[in-house]
Structure 1
Amino acid sequence: MNHLVFEVGVAIALIALAGLLSAKLRFSVIPFYILVGMAVGPHAFQIWHIDFTFISSAPLIDFLGRIGVLFLLFYLGLEFSVGRLIKSGKSIAVGGTIYILINFTLGLLYAWAVGMPLLETLIIAGITTISSSAIVAKVLVDLKRTANPETEMILGIIMFEDIFLAIYISIVSGLVLSGSSSIGGVVTSALIALGFMLLVLIVGRKAVPLLNKLLNIRSNELFLLVIFSILFLVAGFSETIHVAEAIGALLVGLVLAETEHMKRIEHMILPFRDFFGAIFFFSFGLTIDPLTLGGAVWLSLGAVLLTLAGNFAAGMWAGYSAGLSPKASVNIGFTIVARGEFSIIMANLAKSGGLLPIVQPFAALYVLILAVLGPLLTKETKWIYTLLEKTFKLFGIQLGKKKSAGTTTSSR
C-alpha cells in the first residue's frame, strides 16, 4: 500500500484531464472518463508492457466508484417528486409508458434472439432501456432547448424511467444477488424488494415533520454528517436484503425531497455527486479489458441500431399522443437516446452476480457509442427530420402531423 495516495492522486489527475478535454471539445464527459479508465487500467498496461498500474489503489477506487453510484441515485431522488409527475398530466404518463414499453420489449427480444440466459436477458434489457439523465440534462442546457415545447415531455419520460428503474433494479438485483431462478424465488425477491421500497417511502413520508426538526441544524458539518449517515445506513441495509444499494440511496433522496431542507441538501451534495460520479465512470473503465471489446462489437452495434429505431418510434408516438409536431417528436426520440450511468449500474450488477463476462464489455461499448452519438444526433435533429421527411415522401408516407394547433412552437 506504499503507493496508495500517489495512485489515487494520479487517477484524480487523469479524470480531471479527461474532463478538461471534454469541455474543450464541448462534448459529453462520460465517454472520456470511461476511455481514460480503460487506457490506464491493468489490462491495457499489460498489453503495452508498462509497469505502473492501479494495483494498490484498485479496491479503494472501486469503493469510491460505489459511493459515486450512491450519490448519483441519491441526487436523482432529490430531483424527483411523485407530485410533479402527477401534475405534469396524463400525456407524460402515456409518453413514459410508450417509451419503456417499446425499448424494454426490444431489449428483451434482442437478448433472447442472441441466445442469452434469463438473468443476462433481464440485465441487457435494463441496459438498453434507461436513458442517461446526466447526458440528457447537459444536452438540453447546452443546445438551449429548455424552453422548447417537447422538453416537458422529455423530462417527464426521464422521471417515468426513474420509477421503472427503481422497481426494475429492485426486482432484478434480488434475482441476481440471491441466485434464485425459480418462480417462487422470483416472486419472493420481487415482493421483498417492492415491500422494502413501499415501507421506506410510506414511513419516510410520515416522518417528514420529524426529519424537518432533525435536520434543523445550523452547522454544515453536522448537517452533512446526519445526511450521510442516513444515506449510507439505508443503502447498506438494502444491500443486506438483496436490494441494490443504489436503490436504497434513491429512496433516501425521494424521502428527503419532501422535506423543507431539500434545497440545502441538493446544494451541498452536488460537489460530492460530481466528484464521486466521475470516479465511478473511471473505475468502470478500469475493469474493462480492451481486448474483450472485440467480442462484443457486433452485439453492441446490433443493440445500438435497435435502440435508435426504438427511440425514433417511441419519440414519434409519444409526441403525437401529446399533440406535438413531428419535428418536436423527432427531438424527443433522439434527445433521450444516450445511455450512461444506469446502463453501467446494470452491468455492475451482472458482474456482482457472476453472470456471463460478455455483459461488461457489451455495456461499455454500447454506452460509449450512444454517449457519443446521443449528443451529436440531438444537435442535428433538424437535419435528420428534413432527411427523414424527404425519404418518407418518396414512399408516399407522411412522417406525422400535429394533433392540435396549440403546440406548434418550432423546435430548435
Structure 2
Amino acid sequence: MLTGEYLLFEVGLALGVIAAAGLLASRLRFSIVPILIIAGMAMGPQAPHIGMFDFRFIESTPLINFMGRLGVLFLLFYLGLEFSVGRLIKAGRSIFFGGIIYMAINFTAGVVFPLALGWPLTEVLVAAGITTISSSAIVAKLISDLKRSVRPETELILGLMMFQDVFVAIYLSVVSGLVLTGTASTINVIQSALLSLGFIVGFIFLGRRLLNQINRLLDIPSDEVFMMVLFAMLFMVAGFSETIHVAEAIGALLVGLVLAETEHFERIEHLVVPFRDFFGALFFFSFGLSIDPLALSGAFWPALGAVAITIAGNFISGLVAGRKSGYSHRASTNVGLTIISRGEFSIIMANLAKAGGLLPILQPFAALYVLILAIIGPLFTKESKWIYSKMARIFKWPPLKDMNRLRQRSNS
C-alpha cells in the first residue's frame, strides 16, 4: 500500500505522461485522443519500474480511473451545454432527415457486422453503439483547428452531431438497462427502456418548467459557491441516474441540456471548460491504461473490418444527407469525411460492456477501433480536398476548378 506522499507522486507522474502526450499532440497539430490512449496503453503492468518512478500505476490506478469517470461526466455535461433542448427543437428539416439517413445506414451496418461475427445479441447491441456514434469532441476540434466553422456544410455536420447525441441518450439508456440489470426477457427490457426514457423525458420536462427557479438558484455572485452548487447538481443527478441503471453519462448530459437554457449558460461554459479538458484527458488516458496491449491481437481483424465498414458507411451517409439537403458534391464529401472519427461515446459503450461482464473482446475491439479512426478521421478531414478531386474523376462530379469559379462568381 502506498503512503500518501508516494500516491501523490505516482498521480503526478501519470499527469506528467498526460502532459507530455498533450505537448506531442500540440507539436504534431494532431488530435490528442489517440496519443492519450496510446500513452495509457504503454503504461500499466508491462511498463518499467525504475526506483520511485513506477509507470505501472498499480496503486494509483483506482484513483486515476475515478478521475477518468469524472472526465466522462464533464465531457457529456459540456456536450449537453452545446446542444441545448431549444436548439434541438429548432434544428430544422435537413438535420432531421440527414440524421435519419445517417442512422439508417450506420446503425444497420453496426448491427449486421457483429451478427456476422457470431456475437451474442447483447454484445451486438453494444458493438453497434460503439461503431455508430461519431466523436463530437474530435469533430468539433477538427472544425475549429481547420477553420471550417464558416463553411455552409458545417451546420449540417453539427446538426448530425446533435442528432447522434439525442440518439445515444436514448440508446445508451436502453442498452445500459439491459446490460447492467442482466434482464433478457422482453417484458423486463421494455420496463427498463420505459424507466430510462421516462427519466430522460421527465427530467427535461421538469427542467424546462423549473427554469425560472433554476435561474434564481444560480444567481450567485461568488464563482466559488456557484461552482459548488453546479457540481453538486451534476454529480447528484449523474449518481441518481446510475442507481436506476441509467448510465451516469446520460445524467450529466441531461443536466447540460437543461442548464443550456438558463441565463447563466455562458458563465457555466466558461467555468466548466478547464475541468472538461483536464478530466477528459484523464478519461482517455485511463481507458488506455485499462487495455492490455498483448490482448489486442485477437481483436485486430474485427476492429479492422469495423473500421472499413464505418468509413464506407459514414462517407455514403454524409454524401447522401448533404446532397438531400442541397449541398454541393464537395460540401457533401466534407460532411462524410468529417464525421468518421470515433471517441468518447465508443469508449463509454466499451466501459459499459466491461461493467456488465460481457465478452472480454469488446474492450480491445473498442480500443483498436477508436485508435485507428481517431488517427484516420482527422487525416481524411484534413485531406478532403485531395480525396474529392480523386472521387470527382471517378464519379464525374464537378472538378474543383469549376467549383472555385462558381464560388468566386457567387461572392462577387
When normalised by structure 2's length, the TM-score is 0.94
Q: CA, structure 1 residues 175+346, in 2 after alignment: closer, same or farther (shift >3 Å)?
A: same
Q: 1:336 aligns with which of 336, 339, 343?
A: 339
What residue in structure 1 maps to residue 377 of structure 2?
374
Q: 1:167 aligns with which of 159, 170, 180?
A: 170
What residue in structure 2 maps to residue 71 of structure 1?
74
Kept in 2: contact 1:44–1:290 (CA 8 A): no
Q: Deviations over 1:292-324 (max 9, x none)?
A: 111111001100000011011101110111111
> Aligned partners of 1:143, 1:223: CA distance in 2, in Å?
35
When normalised by structure 1's length, the TM-score is 0.94
Kept in 2: contact 1:335–1:374 (CA 8 A): yes
Q: CA, structure 1 residues 93+325, in 2 after alignment: closer, same or farther (shift >3 Å)?
A: same
Shift of 1:43: 4.1
What residue in structure 1 maps to residue 303 of structure 2?
300
Shift of 1:377: 0.4
Q: 1:217 aligns with which of 210, 215, 220?
A: 220
Q: Does 1:132 align with 2:114?
A: no
Q: 1:201 aligns with which of 200, 204, 229?
A: 204
What residue in structure 2 maps to residue 313 of structure 1?
316
Alignment of 1:229-240 (within 5 A): 229-240=232-243
Shift of 1:62: 0.6
> Aligned partners of 2:54, 2:32: CA distance in 1, in Å?
28
> Aligned partners of 2:59, 2:386: CA distance in 1, in Å?
50
Q: Does 1:60 align with 2:63?
A: yes
Q: Which has the larger displacement, 36-45 or 295-304?
A: 36-45
What residue in structure 1 maps to residue 259 of structure 2?
256
What residue in structure 2 maps to residue 241 of structure 1?
244
Runs of 5+ in structure 2 lacking a partner?
none
Kept in 1: contact 2:110–2:127 (CA 8 A): yes
Q: 1:111 aligns with which of 111, 114, 122?
A: 114
Secondary structure in structure 2 of the residue aligned to 1:53: coil
Shift of 1:400: 8.5
What residue in structure 2 maps to residue 395 of structure 1?
none
Kept in 2: contact 1:38–1:44 (CA 8 A): no
Q: 1:284 aligns with which of 283, 287, 291?
A: 287
Q: CA, structure 1 residues 183+43, in 2 after alignment: closer, same or farther (shift >3 Å)?
A: farther
In the TM superposition, structure 1's runs of 4+ consecutive aligned residues that sit over 3 Å from their partners are 43-46, 398-401
Identity of aligned residues (%): 63
Q: Does 1:387 align with 2:398?
A: no
Kept in 1: contact 2:341–2:377 (CA 8 A): yes
Kept in 2: contact 1:238–1:244 (CA 8 A): yes
What residue in structure 2 maps to residue 98 of structure 1?
101
Q: CA, structure 1 residues 331+59, in 2 after alignment: closer, same or farther (shift >3 Å)?
A: same
Q: 2:154 aligns with which of 132, 151, 154?
A: 151
Q: Does 1:25 align with 2:28?
A: yes
Give the number of aligned pairs.
Answer: 397
What residue in structure 1 maps to residue 144 of structure 2?
141
Q: Does 1:348 align with 2:351?
A: yes
Kept in 1: contact 2:337–2:381 (CA 8 A): yes
> Aligned partners of 2:311, 2:347: CA distance in 1, in Å?
19
